[in-house]
């Protein structure tokens, strides 16, 4: 692509693509390509002008060379772009607002007065219809107040005031509709699929294959904890499927031979062989949109409260109007009260504040699935951490592989990797990565693989039973033995590591020692959470008590529980909630899913198991736990902002009512000030809560 540099300062270039206008797809292709370049910190693409801006840290010439390699005809670029980006939605509503504003002022300055009156009279029908409809339902709510204010102004021939009120109400309607649609679209995109590969079945062999290369009629295998990447029909196996993101059902649904399964749902128990019926690029996005629009999931308590307060104040507005007229016999003073309602500011600023906070979280790679979860974070007093992959680093490594019973070390690592690669967990990933690093590649040697949650994996190799997992699973559940000649060697294994035990035919064959270092920021985060008002920080792990105690002491954990099962974590969260506590659960594995679901706000690490991400209300990236504090600060800031909005809206509009009743301002001035204040507070609600110019880590340390 040939580009023309239009403006340049150090680390920032604005350039033209050579096209006068870009389509939405072309603009998205270029944007996602620019953002994918190494060294690029941010980028913007303007489809209306065909221009783009790129900010970068690396060598200028290197960046320019990479930009010039871009081509709108390159099909590979399309794969960088998500199914929906929101660009078209933003453009549509931006144009609606521009057309509404320019149309209003064109008519105001250039339309003859008789035509302006006719236009205003026609526009009143919309509000009159809404008001009558509200009364027909037996409710005295905001639409009735709006219709009354407009009709009274028209009756008094105050067409300027009526037109101004209708214009601002229409702007409010567009902004409210835009807010809702963007909120739904953002949430749907956050829930969209992020599955790149799947196990393709070819005869008796499984091959890890890119999802885009899997077509209709192919057979894929999906096991516990994994997301189903494509729509299809079950042809083998049975499983319990979590369909909450698609249907809203909270209880897993049983799927067996002949049942239809949907992309994006997650296997909670069992495993399935699925014949693909719909290739990548299906209508899951639209299904999610429908599900969200039919539910109240997005609605936060703040938004509901704002709506109820606004409607509840309507009768008092009418009462104030009547009393003012009775006491003063002055229609102008009475109408001034009608021109002020609390609904516009309350109903508009609250959703905008929530949306802005959710959008700001996305800037920090934090995905929040609804405003109510940010409220839960702000109000929480208890935080429960999983250990592995959460307080410890998300990428543990294999420190040592100790063979037993005469087996060879490399063969045991190869076998362990062969089993572990089927199930997503940080320790399993460590085993697979180590085998790959050492060049120990393998063909699939086992038969059907069975995953026992929080315990381990069982299968058969050459007709021999093979299991890998925790001490409890191998020795207590399965009763495996250590050969007499290996007991001294077994007793000498260091306790500083986490251990995976591999058994063959009931005999210990190897111990894989996993080094799982703590995150450097873990101590700071626990301390910062307590400074932010968290009363109790808890750690729950399936690891040994000795390891858990050591970690808890290092990072200042208040309580810890070792050797726990998934149901133990969920039971603890439920118990805390029943005691009146607001609980945040943070985890990354399959065994954290019940607790994530039970918490007031479940937070998953993005690189963890897919089922954890699906069930969780909030997802943070694996890079650093500092995002927890960013989330807490934004959530606290949201609550503070909404309280300020309440005080301002009630106080300012009450002041307008008193001034109008006292005759200090006219109805037109009252309506103008009311509507201007609504726009100002709405614009303020859309601003960022955190100061962007400050380093995020510094903010946390100062907090």
CA angle in degrees (0–180, nearest 5) for 59-64-69 = 130
Contact of 500 with 416, CB cutoff 8 Å: yes
Q: How confident is the model at residue 419 (pLDDT cuts 50, 70, 90)?
A: confident
Which residues have C-beta within 8 Å of that of residue 376, sequence separation ≥ 6? 582, 584, 600, 601, 617
Distance CA 40, CA 346 (A): 40
Check pLDDT > 70 for residue 448.
no
Question: pLDDT tens digits for 72-128?
Answer: 988 777 766 766 677 888 888 889 989 999 999 999 899 999 999 999 999 999 999
**Average pLDDT, stretch 206-221?**
85
CA distance 559 to 536: 8
Choose the weakest-confidence range: 392-401, 547-556, 608-617, 639-648. Answer: 608-617
Kind and range of the H or E element at 325? helix 314-328
**Token pair recorded at residue 129:** 């219809």
How many C-beta atoms surround the C-beta of residue 625 within 10 A? 23
Whether residue 589 contacts residue 612, with contact meaning beta carbons closer than 8 Å, is answered with yes
Domain locations in the chain as residue ranges:
4-81, 91-188+299-353+637-685, 197-291, 366-393+518-622, 397-515
Q: What's the mean pLDDT in 418-430?
A: 78
326-348 pLDDT per residue, tens = 888 887 788 778 777 776 677 77
Element (H, E) at 86: none
pLDDT in tens, 489-526: 999 988 778 889 999 999 999 999 988 788 888 999 99
Q: What is the pLDDT of residue 316?
A: 82
Q: What's the whole-number mean pLDDT along residues 654-674?
A: 83
Q: Is the pLDDT of residue 5 over 60?
A: yes
Say yes or no to pLDDT of 191 above 70.
no
At residue 697, the pLDDT reads 44
- What's the rounded mean pLDDT across residues 45-60? 92
**235 CB-near residues (< 8 Å, 6+ apart):** 219, 257, 273, 274, 275
Domain 197-291 has CATH 2.70.150.10: yes
At residue 16, what are phi and psi to the nearest 5 degrees? Answer: -100, 140
| pLDDT tier for residue 299 given thresholds of 50, 70 and 90 | low
Tell me, what's the pLDDT at 703?
A: 42
- Looking at the chain, the whole-number percentage of residues with pLDDT higher than 90 is 33
Count the residues in the chain.
703
**CA dihedral in degrees (642, 88, 677, 104; nearest 10)?**
-160
pLDDT above 50: residue 696: no
What is the C-alpha to C-alpha distance for residues 594 and 83, in angstroms, rounded to an integer?
Answer: 30
- Whether residue 442 is predicted with pLDDT greater than 70 in this model: the reply is no
Confidence of residue 242 (pLDDT cuts 50, 70, 90): confident
> Does the structure show a pLDDT above 80 at 279?
no
Return the CATH number of 4-81, one of 3.40.50.620, 3.30.70.100, 3.40.50.720, 3.90.550.10: 3.30.70.100
pTM of the model: 0.67
Q: Is the pLDDT of residue 486 over 90?
A: yes
Pick the CATH number of 397-515 from 2.60.290.11, 3.40.1110.10, 3.40.50.1970, 2.30.110.10: 3.40.1110.10
How much is the mean pLDDT over the chain?
83
pLDDT at 194: 56
Res. 571 pLDDT band, cuts 50 70 90: very high
Select from 425, 410, 422, 403 the least CA-distant residue to 503.
403
Residues 6+ positions from 105 with CB-CB distance below 8 Å: none
Mean of the pLDDT values across residues 430-450?
Answer: 77
Q: Tell me which range, 202-206, 403-407, 586-590, is most confidently predicted by mean pLDDT.
A: 403-407
Element (H, E) at 220: strand 219-223
- The secondary structure of residue 293, as a DSSP letter, is H
Per the structure block, which two tokens stand in for 21? 């206008």
User: Distance between CA atoms of 528 and 522, rounded to whole angstroms?
Assistant: 10
- The answer to whether the CB of 218 falls within 8 A of the CB of 279 is no
Q: Residue 167: is its pLDDT beyond 80?
A: yes
Q: Which residue has the higher pLDDT, 292 or 68?
A: 68
Higher-pLDDT residue of 206, 264:
206
Note the pLDDT of residue 291: 53
pLDDT for residue 482 is more than 50: yes
The 3-state secondary structure of 590-631, one letter per residue: HHHHHHHHHCCEEEEECCCCHHHHHHCCEEECCCCCHHHHHH
State the pLDDT at residue 296. Answer: 47
Other beta carbons within 10 angstroms of residue 112's beta carbon come to 9
- For the ranges 130-139, 170-179, 245-254, 604-613, the lowest mean pLDDT is seen at 245-254
As a whole number of angstroms, the distance between CA 379 and CA 396 comes to 33
Following DSSP, what letter does each residue of 561-587 receive, concatenated?
E-S--HHHHHHHHHHHHHTT--EEEEE
The mean pLDDT value for 655-670 works out to: 84
Domain 366-393+518-622 has CATH 3.40.50.1820: no
């Amino acid at each position: 692509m040939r580009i023309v540099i239009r403006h340049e300062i150090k680390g920032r270039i604005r350039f033209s693509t050579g096209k006068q206008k870009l389509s939405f797809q072309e603009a998205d292709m270029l944007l996602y390509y620019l953002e994918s370049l190494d060294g690029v910190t941010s980028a913007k693409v303007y489809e209306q002008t065909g221009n783009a801006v790129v900010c970068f840290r690396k060598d200028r010439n290197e960046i320019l060379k990479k930009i010039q390699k871009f081509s709108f005809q390159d099909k590979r670029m399309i794969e960088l772009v998500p199914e929906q980006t929101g660009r078209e939605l933003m453009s549509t509503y931006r144009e609606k607002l521009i057309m509404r504003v320019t149309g209003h002022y064109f008519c105001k300055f250039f339309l003859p007065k008789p035509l302006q009156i006719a236009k205003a009279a026609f526009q009143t029908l919309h509000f009159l219809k809404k008001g009558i409809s509200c009364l027909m339902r037996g409710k005295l709510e905001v639409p009735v107040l709006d219709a009354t204010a407009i009709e009274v102004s028209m009756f008094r021939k105050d067409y300027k005031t009526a037109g101004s009120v209708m214009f601002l109400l229409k702007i409010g309607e567009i902004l409210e509709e835009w807010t809702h649609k963007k909120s739904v679209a953002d949430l749907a995109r956050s829930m969209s699929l992020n599955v790149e590969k799947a196990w393709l079945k070819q005869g008796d062999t499984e091959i890890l294959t890119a999802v885009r290369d899997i077509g209709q009629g192919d057979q894929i295998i999906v096991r516990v904890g994994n997301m189903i990447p494509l729509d299809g029909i079950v042809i083998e196996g049975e499983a319990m499927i979590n369909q909450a993101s698609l249907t809203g059902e909270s209880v897993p649904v049983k799927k067996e031979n002949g049942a239809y399964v949907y992309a994006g749902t997650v296997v909670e128990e069992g495993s399935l062989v699925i014949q693909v019926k719909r290739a990548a690029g299906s209508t899951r996005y639209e299904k999610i949109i429908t599900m969200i629009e039919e539910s109240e999931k997005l609605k936060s308590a703040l938004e509901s409260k704002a709506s109820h307060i606004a409607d509840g104040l309507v009768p008092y507005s009418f009462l104030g109007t009547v009393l003012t007229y009775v006491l003063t016999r002055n229609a102008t003073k009475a109408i001034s009260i009608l021109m002020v309602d609390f609904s516009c500011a309350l109903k508009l600023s609250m959703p905008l504040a929530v949306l802005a906070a959710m959008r700001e979280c996305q800037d920090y790679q934090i995905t929040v699935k609804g405003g109510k979860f940010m409220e839960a974070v702000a109000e929480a007093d208890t935080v429960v951490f999983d250990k592995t992959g959460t307080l410890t680093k998300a990428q543990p490594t294999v420190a040592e592989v100790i063979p037993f019973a005469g087996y060879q070390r490399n063969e045991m690592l190869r076998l362990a990797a062969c089993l572990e690669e089927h199930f997503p967990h940080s320790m399993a990933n460590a085993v697979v990565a180590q085998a790959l690093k050492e060049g120990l590649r393998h063909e699939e040697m086992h038969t059907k693989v069975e995953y026992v949650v929080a315990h381990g994996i069982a299968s058969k190799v050459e007709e021999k039973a093979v299991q890998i997992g925790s001490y409890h699973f191998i020795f207590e559940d399965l009763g495996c033995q250590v050969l007499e000649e290996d007991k001294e060697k077994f007793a000498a294994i260091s306790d500083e590591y986490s251990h995976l035990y591999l058994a063959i035919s009931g005999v210990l064959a190897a111990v894989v020692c996993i080094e799982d270092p703590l995150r450097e920021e873990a101590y700071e985060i626990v301390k910062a959470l307590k400074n932010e008002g968290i009363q109790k920080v808890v750690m729950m792990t399936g690891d040994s008590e000795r390891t858990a105690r050591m970690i808890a002491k290092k990072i200042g954990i208040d309580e810890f529980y070792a050797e726990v099962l998934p149901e133990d974590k969920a039971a603890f969260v439920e118990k805390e909630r029943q005691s009146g506590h607001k609980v945040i659960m943070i985890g990354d594995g399959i065994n954290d899913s019940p607790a994530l679901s039970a918490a007031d706000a479940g937070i998953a690490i993005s690189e963890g198991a897919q089922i954890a991400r699906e069930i969780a209300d909030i997802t943070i990236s694996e890079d650093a736990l500092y995002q927890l504090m960013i989330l807490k600060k934004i959530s606290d800031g949201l609550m503070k902002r909404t309280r300020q909005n309440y005080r301002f809206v009630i106080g300012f509009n009450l002041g307008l009512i008193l001034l109008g009743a006292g005759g200090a301002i006219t109805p037109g001035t009252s309506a103008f000030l009311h509507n201007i204040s609504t726009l100002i507070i709405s614009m303020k609600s859309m601003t960022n809560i955190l100061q962007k110019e400050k380093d995020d880590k510094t903010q946390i340390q100062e907090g």
